[in-house]
Amino acid sequence: MPHYYQEAVDSICESIRFDSSAAQHSAKMPFGKGAYDCLCHFLALAEKLGFETKNYDGYAGEVLFGHGEPFAILCHLDVVPAGDGWTKPPFGGIVEAGKIWGRGAMDDKGPAICVLYALKALKDRGFVPKKTIKLIVGCNEESGWKCIEYYSRVAKLPETGFSPDADFPVIYAEKGILHVRLHYPLGTAPFFYLEGGTSANMVCDLCEATPRSLSTKRILACGLEVKGKKILSRGKSAHGSTPEKGVNAMLPMLKYFSARNETIKNIIADLFEDRYGLTDLEDETGKLTLSPDLIKYRKGELQVVCDIRYPATVPVDAVHEKLAQMGVKYETLHHQAPLYHAKDSELIQSLLSVYEECTGKRAEPIAIGGGTYARALKNGVAFGPEMEGDEAVIHQPDEYITLDRVKLLLDIYEKAIERLTK
């Protein structure tokens, strides 16, 4: 049994019970009370374990261990909204059927807690790192990275490190991330109200509308529900980087209204049928993914926010050229340049060797569409916690981490930190 296994399980459950999704902010709580309380809980736990900590005005926190050249481990405590479709309490932090259930269990509270207890295990063994390990926990990773931006202004971000916020065996490349809002003028819309989605990086799982007229036969044919004067479309959420793992609730709603509106037909063709070939952009890190995740009707137009993950070696200008072909106004809400490292770099090979030692599996570095804090570092990569063959649970209902994965993470991160900082 790994060191501090039960303590880690208990602490993960406690952390999950804070709803740390973005909420109403204040000067002291820049991302809302839930995120602030979760950060304070994490730092209090670290202090109880004997570590020096710093709270950077509620934006981010830091746990320090060792002396010398700084080395970063970047995690986040904020989560995406719970969304619909849960059979377990999303912020219950309960243990059942060999799993810890709740939003953030895998993304990223579980891994963050495991790293903290891995540091404690090293400390108890008398390990003295020859680097200053900075376990940095942010509170705005899911919706803008203001936490890391603030930290970089008031403190010094290390150049090298890893983020336990993606996949094993180790990530050598992350696609670029581009969030855009497209404005489609409607004129006279066939509805009074239409809105759907909860986050720009989460596949829309619920879309609602108030139509000007109801056609029950067509509503049912499109797979929609009638609720009073509203009609509802339900889907399945998924991470915006893997839209194929979800079911987008926007599409049935748009199809219902498209029979009466040419602009809505164009939205379907542009964003769901990809008539301008955005997803044809491809390199060794994979194809571009296009996920329309938020939609709302405002001031005579339909506004659609899309999550675009473009291949790591493709210039962002190539994406903008495709978007311009649609002929509609759009604006960039968020952009993160890709991450790309040589597979044979020392950092990647060191982490790969730890993974192989702990799992007994031979593996190769991989590329992902997700974006992690690793790209904030000059020499940073993502390392776990997901593995090939895992059920997709991140940004989905009934998110969980297995107890066996907690045990593995405690072992892997203890060995990885020791190897990289001795």
Which of 376, 373, 354 has the alpha carbon at shortest distance from 365? 354
- pTM equals 0.84
- Computed from CA positions of residues 324, 328, 334, 339, in that sequence, does the dihedral angle turn out positive or negative? negative
In whole angstroms, give the CA distance from residue 262 to residue 258.
7
Q: Catalytic site residue 165?
A: no
Contact between 180 and 323 under an 8 Å Cβ cutoff? The reply is: yes
pLDDT at residue 213 in the model? 84
Residue 145: CA atoms inside 13 Å, Cβ hemisphere, count? 16
Q: Catalytic site residue 78?
A: yes
pLDDT at residue 371 in the model? 85
Catalogue all structural domains in the chain, each as residue range(s) with its CATH number: 5-174+339-421 (3.40.630.10), 176-336 (3.30.70.360)
Show the low-confidence residues of the chain (pLDDT under 50): none
Contact between 43 and 138 under an 8 Å Cβ cutoff? The reply is: no
Angle at CA 306, nearest 5°, toward 302 and 312?
160
**What number of other Cβ atoms are within 10 A of residue 248's Cβ?**
26
In whole angstroms, give the CA distance from residue 137 to residue 120.
16
pLDDT at residue 1 in the model? 65
Question: Which one from 62, 78, 208, 293 is the annotated catalytic residue?
Answer: 78
CA 289, distance to chain mean position in Å, is 15
pLDDT at residue 394 in the model? 94
Tokens 């473009």 sit on residue: 310
| Cα radius of gyration rounded to whole Å, the chain | 22
- 204-252: per-residue pLDDT in tens? 999 999 999 877 777 888 889 999 889 999 999 999 999 999 999 999 9
Question: Which one from 19, 62, 108, 141 is the annotated catalytic residue?
Answer: 141
pLDDT at residue 299 in the model? 87
Q: Judging by DSSP bridges, how do beta strands 69-76 and 131-138 pair with one another? A: parallel
Contact between 140 and 146 under an 8 Å Cβ cutoff? The reply is: yes
Does residue 398 have a cis peptide bond before it, meaning omega lies within 30 degrees of 0? no
Contact between 19 and 91 under an 8 Å Cβ cutoff? The reply is: yes
- State the amino acid at position 193 in one-letter form: Y
